Amino acid sequence: MKTSERAGVRERGHARVVEETSLPSHAHPPAPLFTGRSRQVSWSVFLLALLLGLTGCSYYSFSGAMIPQEHQTITIVPVENATASSLRDLEGSLTDLLNERFVERTRLRLITNANEADVVLTGRLIEYSDAPTSVSGNERATQNEVTISAEVRYRATESDSLLLDDTYTQSETYALSGEGAQSAADAARVVLENIADAVFADATSNW
């Protein structure tokens, strides 16, 4: 019987047998196009690009505050005081607190001309009270509560639309005597801080 061999094929007569040949020890199968790690990185890059495409075009975030990209400048009109409070400069304190939040905690730039600003913030104190909430046995007040209400408007000038139009009321109690004794001014400061925080949160999260 005639037998011939070539390239892993052996012929025996009319029969042809294909033999398996092993790869040389230095040869390796082709590597897959994407490994598990590269696929993970590719998906991460894709998702990041998608998120930037959805949010980066319309808003920017700074310290958690969401501000539309078209809003670059702000005018904060000095707060008015329509109350009969005897405490000094409540309106100035609230104006300063609003400036601190909207200017120092965002990328908004403060300008004085409301006609040129992208957004305008105005406020007015409309109520102030300082009343006893607790009395002693001899009917003397031992604790008072300060309550302040403020009307606030936040307007986009280009569209002339109100982004925020609300009344904010906050209260704070303070002891009149004893170790923790405070003054009405101390309580009022806390109240104004809370009002400014609430205004800032509403104005920068309603998007």
Structure tokens that stand for 165 in this block: 């139009």
What is the C-alpha separation between 126 and 135, in angstroms, rounded?
A: 28
For residue range 73-129, what is the model confidence (pLDDT) as tens digits? Answer: 999 999 999 999 999 999 999 999 999 999 999 999 999 999 999 999 999 999 999
Q: What pLDDT shows up at residue 134?
A: 83
E-assigned strands of the chain?
3-6, 9-12, 15-18, 59-62, 65-68, 73-76, 80-81, 109-110, 119-135, 141-156, 161-175
Domain 70-203: give its CATH architecture: 2-Layer Sandwich (3.30)
Q: What pLDDT shows up at residue 140?
A: 80
Spell out the domain ranges in the chain. Answer: 70-203
Q: What pLDDT shows up at residue 28?
A: 53
- Per-residue pLDDT band at 177 (split at 50, 70, 90): confident
Q: What pLDDT shows up at residue 136?
A: 72
What is the C-alpha separation between 188 and 6, in angstroms, rounded?
A: 100
Residues 6+ apart with CB under 8 A from 94: 79, 123, 125, 150, 192, 195, 196
- The answer, yes or no, to whether residue 15 has pLDDT greater than 80, is no
Q: What pLDDT shows up at residue 29?
A: 53
What is the C-alpha separation between 164 and 119, in angstroms, rounded?
A: 11
For residue range 19-69, what is the model confidence (pLDDT) as tens digits? Answer: 444 445 555 555 554 455 545 545 554 554 454 444 444 555 545 678 999
What is the C-alpha separation between 137 and 87, in angstroms, rounded?
A: 29
Pairing of strands 161-175, 119-135: unpaired
DSSP string, 102-131: HHHSSSPEE-S-TTT-SEEEEEEEEEEEEE
98 or 6: whose pLDDT is higher?
Answer: 98
Q: What pLDDT shows up at residue 97?
A: 99
For residue range 125-156, what is the model confidence (pLDDT) as tens digits? Answer: 999 999 999 877 677 888 999 999 999 999 99
